[in-house]
Amino acid sequence: MRALLAAIVAAVVTAAAAGTATAATSSPSVPSVFGGNGHNASFDGRLFLVRTGPGWQAHMLRPEATTYRQDGLPDAMGPMWSAALTVIAGEPNGENALAICEPDPARAPYACDASGNVGGPFACYDVWVFDSDATRSVAMGGQEFRRRRLNLRVADPGTATARPVAFTWGAIEAITMSAGGRIRGIEPTFTRDGRLMVWNGSLGNSDQDGQMMYAVAPSACAAAGWSAPRSLSHMVNDAAVNTRYRLAARQLRAADGTPFVDGAAVYGAYPWLLPDGDAVMFSAALMPCRATDDPLGCGPRRNATSMIGYPTNWGLAHIDGGVNPSTTDTVRLFFSSPGATTFSQLPVTPGVDVWPFFGTNTSNYVEVSFDDGLDGQYAGLWHLNESVTAAGDLDVTRSPDVSGYFNTAQVRGAVTFPGPNNGVLGKAAVFGGGWLEVAHAASLEPVNGITMELTIRPAGDPDCDGQNNYRTLVRKGDAYSLVFEETRGVRARVRVAGGAIRELYSGAVITADGATWTKVTAEYDGATGVMQIRFADQIVAEQTFPAAQLAGTGAPLTIGGVGTSPACPQGGNFAGTIDEASVSRIARHLGAPEMFDAGLGPDAAGGGDAGADASTGASGDGGGCCRAGRDADGGEPVLVLVVAGGLYRRRRRAPGGEPRR
């Protein structure tokens, strides 16, 4: 029977693992014909300007011509891109990073004739292009922002054959502040209204120092009248922006939730503003060099592509997935997007807030989702990648919680984050006798329902000797836990009001060959008393208990173990790789979605170990092996096996609608 169950479940998880996309942060990266060294996009998502070897070039993104790869992602090597039109030859002015600013949305673009006059079969973009000379220091007269007007004509606009055909430039003009003087830095980016500019600069308005600065103008794309440069950390206290742009609506925070002090540096390079000023995407950390120029471009802040602002609960979110393929092997610089809902053809990843991004230095395309931070129902969500400190350094001693509660996981013992991506959705943590620990917080003790979820790849069979060798996956004292049994099944436990412990055993078992990933989900709904275990989103066990709310214990939460453990323990730490761990404050499949529950805080009851007996509440020495019998509260277990077919999804999300907060 065990062999049969293993075979059935192995078929299920093999089909599902590759297509897992719950709370995805970034799709896989696919190659793109569009590449160069610095670029930006018009706000209608069609005109892209890029710095290349021959000079500045214009491309038209043609969503009408989009084709798709076998994996369902857009083929960015295909006809979605027009041929290039060189608009500036060579590098006469030290141009590199540039920004497109639109003084009048009605003229970007407008219908025009072959002479650029209003009316006709062409589309003309009438925009300002901002940049600075990045090849010289401030002392040498460089790194001072300037603008020039561009009128660019497009043939067959809005079709699969759209292409840039002609252009004219205006004169170069200096950008000045209202109090006089120049704004200094590199890599500018603008909001759609043309009044907020963010760039890579310095607190002293001198040579860029990997610090994200901002200024506002009295009118769109203005040459004069800009405010003095300020750190992004000041935005929440600036009346000129804190009611206009959601990026400035709350104090920005580091990845661990620590607020940035007003005026403190917010480290970042290659920023790109979401068009309405909701957030900024940027490179958050330095790329270490293994040797001279190894990896190519190492040294500067070209690592850990991240986002900060409204979609990330105003915390620094180091994006997990294909947009960050490695923290040691490849640099990442410029990314920009045509917009989340601009085209029906892009993106294809399902979700509420998913953005298509093109990278030029990396010549790639990715789709980035911010649904995890916007979901509103997670108590903790750990993508199990490394964190980034407030000083802009990679931090391999912690893994950030991107739920918005900032329940940061601390590395204890032998837990590592490899350089290249190794997980189902990006980076994953490798457990070799250690565990992750999260301090107790009221947010981590749900009341009305709970979902525990993680994707695991055991290093081998946990049944390593004659003892009961269960392995802890998730545990918060007796409040709730997930245990990987020596049978390779999974046992879930929750504590309810009155102190009773309810448990459910999967029956079905997990492949433990060191190569196979299995998504494990356990949930309990207090309103109905239903408890379920799922492997790869397929129900493998279910039981109904009398309805009762959950009751916490105030213990810390651990992932992958509970303490120092020998190599072959009796009730020890997980050995293998874990990705995408989360605790939700609802039963996601069982209960109707609801607003945050009250988070009643820690219960007075004490701890116990992973082997609490379901019938007595006493501490035991394991998960109970194959015992899936009655709970003390009654209720018969139901073992459910479902064989899944192909689970890969490709659907277009519905437009509009702000997610529940």
- What pLDDT is recorded for position 53? 86
- Are residues 78 and 148 located together in one domain of the fold? yes
Last residue of a domain, one of 320, 346, 374: 374
Domains identified in the chain, total number: 2
Average pLDDT, stretch 294-300?
96
Q: How far apart are CA 575 and CA 457, in angstroms?
A: 9
Does residue 128 lie within any of the structural domains? yes
- Are residues 419 and 284 located together in one domain of the fold? no
- Are residues 454 and 349 located together in one domain of the fold? no
- What pLDDT is recorded for position 373? 80
- Are residues 281 and 394 located together in one domain of the fold? no
User: Which distant-in-sequence residues (6+ apart) come within 8 Å of 75 by Cβ?
Assistant: 30, 66, 67, 68, 69
- Are residues 354 and 442 located together in one domain of the fold? no
- Are residues 340 and 454 located together in one domain of the fold? no
- What pLDDT is recorded for position 630? 31
122's tokens: 């062409």
Q: In what order do the strands lie in the sheet with 364-369?
A: 30-31, 364-369, 354-359, 335-336
Q: How is residue 180 annotated by DSSP?
A: S
Helix residue ranges, H only, 345-488:
371-374
| CATH number for position 493 | 2.60.120.200
- Are residues 615 and 519 located together in one domain of the fold? yes
Average pLDDT, stretch 347-361?
95
- What pLDDT is recorded for position 575? 96
Which pTM does this prediction carry? 0.87
Does residue 382 lie within any of the structural domains? no
Please name every residue paired with 412 in a beta bridge, in sequence order, or none if there are none: 435
Choose among 63, 52, 152: nearest CA to 112. 152
- Are residues 219 and 259 located together in one domain of the fold? yes
597-627 residue pLDDT tens: 323 232 222 222 233 332 223 333 334 333 3
Does residue 659 lie within any of the structural domains? no
655, 644 in Cβ contact below 8 A?
A: no
Last residue of a domain, one of 351, 374, 397: 374
C-alpha distances (whole Å) from 617 to each of 500, 610, 630 are 7, 11, 13
- What pLDDT is recorded for position 94? 80
Does residue 652 lie within any of the structural domains? no
Q: How far apart are CA 461 and CA 650, in angstroms?
A: 35
Does residue 653 lie within any of the structural domains? no
- What pLDDT is recorded for position 105? 84
477-492 residue pLDDT tens: 999 999 999 999 999 9
- Are residues 150 and 166 located together in one domain of the fold? yes
- Are residues 458 and 574 located together in one domain of the fold? yes
Does residue 333 lie within any of the structural domains? yes
Does residue 651 lie within any of the structural domains? no
Does residue 656 lie within any of the structural domains? no
Residue type, 386: E
Q: How is residue 302 annotated by DSSP?
A: -
Q: In what order do the strands lie in the sheet with 317-318?
A: 269-273, 279-285, 303-309, 317-318
- Are residues 392 and 351 located together in one domain of the fold? no
Whether residue 571 has pLDDT greater than 60: yes
Backbone phi and psi for residue 173, each to the nearest 5 degrees, phi listed first: -125, 140
Average pLDDT score, the chain? 87
Residue type, 144: E
- Are residues 291 and 428 located together in one domain of the fold? no
Q: What is the largest CA-CA distance in the chain?
A: 86
- What pLDDT is recorded for position 599? 30
- What pLDDT is recorded for position 106? 84
* DSSP element (H, E) containing 307: strand 303-309
- Which residue range forms the structural domain that includes residue 473? 2-16+388-639
- What pLDDT is recorded for position 176? 98
User: Which distant-in-sequence residues (6+ apart) come within 8 Å of 557 by Cβ?
Assistant: 380, 407, 437, 438, 440, 444, 474, 475, 476, 583
Whether residue 379 has pLDDT greater than 90: yes
Neighbours of 413 (CB within 10 A): 17
206-256 residue pLDDT tens: 999 999 999 999 999 999 999 999 999 999 999 999 999 999 999 999 999
Q: How far apart are CA 330 and CA 323, in angstroms?
A: 11
219-233 residue pLDDT tens: 999 999 999 999 999
63, 411 in Cβ contact below 8 A?
A: no
